[in-house]
Amino acid sequence: MSGKKTLSFLDLSDEDIYSAWNKYQANNIIIEDGPIIGNPCWISSSQDGRLTIKGNKVAHAYEIAAFSRYWRFNIEKVPPHKNANSLSISHICGKGPRCCNPQHLVLEPKWVNDERTHCHFALFNAYNYGGYQNMEDAYDLGICPHNPPCCYLKY
């Protein structure tokens, strides 16, 4: 462990981070339909989903996307090593670290992030067996207790 209290890319200036993010978005994002109607996932084209800044792999693209949405002040609260109550960057789309659409990212305790995997599993199965209507039916039955809801942006 590095002993750092913040994510390593926060050692860089905001200008360097935004510049790298803008270049990355222009060249390394694949738009892919996902579980959220009308709001596709932005999938990182790199296999490990990592972003290179000044020749070094410094962060996952979704971490930089969260930085662009929540700004430095809030991202500084996300520790590099987490326990159940630590702040975490969650993907409401369920696509995991390769999705870097800022609208699909929320900051919440790690235990809530971990809980979302159950919703994603159930909602993906509902979709696979009956499309978006089955997902809507699952929401109506109260399948997801989260706010914002998993796989949903109508909140």
- Residue 43's CB: how many other CB atoms inside 10 A? 20
Whole-number pLDDT of residue 99? 94
- Binned at pLDDT 50, 70 and 90, residue 94 comes out as very high
SS3 content of the chain, % helix, strand, coil (to 5): 45, 20, 35
**Strand residue runs (E) in 28-104:** 29-32, 41-44, 50-53, 56-60, 87-91
E strand or H helix that includes residue 21 = helix 14-28
**Amino acid making up residue 1:** M
Residues 115-131, mean pLDDT to the nearest whole number: 93
- Above pLDDT 90, what percent of the chain? 63
Residues 86-96, mean pLDDT to the nearest whole number: 94
CA angle 148, 154, 155 (to 5 degrees): 45
Instruction: State the chain's mean pLDDT as an integer.
Output: 90
pTM: 0.89
Whole-number pLDDT of residue 155? 42
Tens-place pLDDT, residues 52-79 = 777 777 889 999 999 999 999 999 999 9
Q: How far apart are CA 126 and CA 6, in angstroms?
A: 38
